[in-house]
Amino acid sequence: MVSSEETKAQARTAPKPRGRPRSFDRETALEKALLAFWEHGYETTSVSDLTRVMDIGAPSLYAAFGDKRSLFEEVVREYGTKYGSFGDRALAEEPTARAAVERMLREAAVEYTDPAHPSGCLVIHAAANCSTPEVEQSLRDRRNANIAAFESRIKADIAAGELPPHTDAAALARHTGAVIQGMSQQARDGASRGELEALAEIAMTIWPRT
Amino acid sequence: MVSSEETKAQARTAPKPRGRPRSFDRETALEKALLAFWEHGYETTSVSDLTRVMDIGAPSLYAAFGDKRSLFEEVVREYGTKYGSFGDRALAEEPTARAAVERMLREAAVEYTDPAHPSGCLVIHAAANCSTPEVEQSLRDRRNANIAAFESRIKADIAAGELPPHTDAAALARHTGAVIQGMSQQARDGASRGELEALAEIAMTIWPRT
DNA sequence: GTATTTCCCTAGCGGTCGCTACAGAAAAGA
DNA sequence: TCTTTTCTGTAGCGACCGCTAGGGAAATAC
């Protein structure tokens, strides 16, 4: 059976590329790189680490994936579709924002501790102290986009009458984000004092009534 | 007035050390190093970065602080007493665990976004992807100790009747930690799936009743 | 003054970083 | 077979890493 590892261009126009074919499976190597970046982060994973776990030489890595940053960006895209999509699925499939977030948090608890792969979330951890600004900004944008998605989903429920009209959708979305990635991380990503204060206030309502 | 920058040995036995005194103020240099580590993290802050912001030569740095890791550990201690003590103060001074945590979260919102210094928490961020295991473990221990402190404070309130006896103190403490540093960070620090699931369940109770 | 102690500056150590030039090997088309 | 194309392995580039040897400068003790 023909595997899906050929590129679309190859599969459609030229059944075989001209010269010597590469001697390793690109998808397998990408998955190995993904696990390495997930485990150790962007800066800490050196190119020699990558060539070792991918079991290829450095020139093969650069020919197949560009430079280290391109490889990492491809890894992040792969992570998003393969491991990080449970949140988007929950938001798309559940009938209410509350049900979606509850499902998302439960699945996050499972995913983040699954012994089959590194723990936690690659997008959150791989660039916490990162000396490459473009990489840092790219992941920061992803995290902020997640919070924005929470907020718009909550607003939709408010409009539909599923949540009280006075609900602070932005604060609820930020609390959800905090349970996912932490107050401190958000502060480094540009949240204001007021936004974090609103988050803290609403977080207190989980406490049992005395 | 004599400042407190002399060591105890100097202040008690020899009013003046023998040779040439150092030409910079050790506390000022330490504070500059603290800000650099806080802003950029442990790995990303190079020794040449440090010597530049501290405005001293590399040999002076090594003579005054040992190696880079010793300097960082001293920075973490300084951070704990100067910037990170609001949590301990709240736990010690407030009458109930609930009041203590509420105050702590409000003060965290202020501290983590104070434009007078880098945002967020140094202990949480300075070692997220860290290639020096000892540094990583040291900060991990500090974070887990914080969560343990939350838990014992909540248990004390339960014993005192301030909280219902069926309160899940461990889960409450972990939620508090999550709002501080994030679910994902905790997963990397060894929390189990069940612990994170319990956290997710209790986090849902902040939602307004429909 | 001289001797002693300690510090600062220059210069550079060995090692690793991300990355690549180059030559040979392995596949295709002719 | 022979040429062309592409990949692979060796070997090493310049830059930066954490760190330090060594000589001269600046303070105190005598």
The answer to whether the beta carbons of residues A128 and B125 sit under 8 Å apart is yes
Among B40, B62, B80, the domain boundary falls at B80
Among B49, B80, B111, the domain boundary falls at B80
Between A207 and B90, where is the model more confident?
Answer: B90
Protein-covered nucleotides on strand C (Cβ within 7 A): 4-12, 16-22, 25-29
Same domain, residue pair B183 and B91: yes
A183, amino acid identity: M
* pLDDT (0 to 100) of residue B66: 92
Give the DSSP H/E element, type plus range, for residue A147.
helix A133-159
Cite the DSSP H helix spans in A83-131: 86-93, 97-112, 122-125
Same domain, residue pair A28 and A76: yes
Burial class (CB in 10 A: 0-12, 13-18, 19+), A181: buried
Q: How far is B31 from chain A (nearest CA, A)?
A: 20
Same domain, residue pair A72 and A105: no
Give nearest nucleotide to A63 (CA–C1').
D7
The answer to whether the beta carbons of residues A162 and A146 sit under 8 Å apart is no
Q: Does strand D come within 7 Å of the CB of B62?
A: yes
Same domain, residue pair A65 and A106: no
* pLDDT (0 to 100) of residue B46: 92
What is the span of the domain harbouring residue A95? 86-203
Same domain, residue pair B42 and B97: no
Same domain, residue pair A43 and A111: no
Same domain, residue pair B191 and B124: yes
Between B124 and B75, where is the model more confident?
Answer: B75
Q: How far is A92 from chain B (nearest CA, A)?
A: 19
* pLDDT (0 to 100) of residue B31: 95
Indicate the Cα dihedral angle A101, A107, A108, A113, nearest 10°. Answer: 160
The terminus-to-terminus CA distance of chain B in angstroms comes to: 64
* pLDDT (0 to 100) of residue A179: 56
CATH at A114: 1.10.357
Same domain, residue pair B179 and B92: yes
Q: Mark the ranges of chain A whose per-residue pLDDT is less than 70.
A: 1-17, 96-98, 100-101, 127-140, 142-143, 146-147, 150, 170-210
pLDDT digits (tens, 9 = 90+) for A106-131: 777 778 777 898 877 777 777 666 56
For B111, the closest chain A residue by CA position comes to A193
Q: Do B182 and A185 touch (CB under 8 A)?
A: yes
* pLDDT (0 to 100) of residue B158: 84
* pLDDT (0 to 100) of residue A61: 95
* pLDDT of residue B154 exceeding 80: no
The answer to whether the beta carbons of residues A147 and A87 sit under 8 Å apart is no
DSSP A21: P
Between B1 and A191, where is the model more confident?
Answer: A191
Residue B16 lies in a domain: no
pLDDT digits (tens, 9 = 90+) for B91-147: 788 776 667 667 777 777 778 777 898 877 777 777 666 566 655 655 566 667 766
Same domain, residue pair A32 and A115: no
* Total domains present in chain B: 2
Residues in chain A: 210
CATH at B54: 1.10.10.60
Residue B157 lies in a domain: yes
Distance of alpha carbon A117 from alpha carbon B88, whole angstroms: 35
pTM above 0.95, yes or no: no
pLDDT category at B63 given cuts 50, 70, 90 is very high
Distance of alpha carbon A6 from alpha carbon A10, whole angstroms: 6
Chain A window 54-93: residues with CB closer than 7 Å to nucleic chain C are 58-59, 62, 67-69
For A114, the closest chain B residue by CA position comes to B193
Burial B18-40 (b: 16+ CB within 10 A, else e): eeeeeebeeeebbbbbbbbbbbb
For A104, the closest chain B residue by CA position comes to B200
Among A50, A80, A110, the domain boundary falls at A80
Q: How far is A74 from chain B (nearest CA, A)?
A: 20
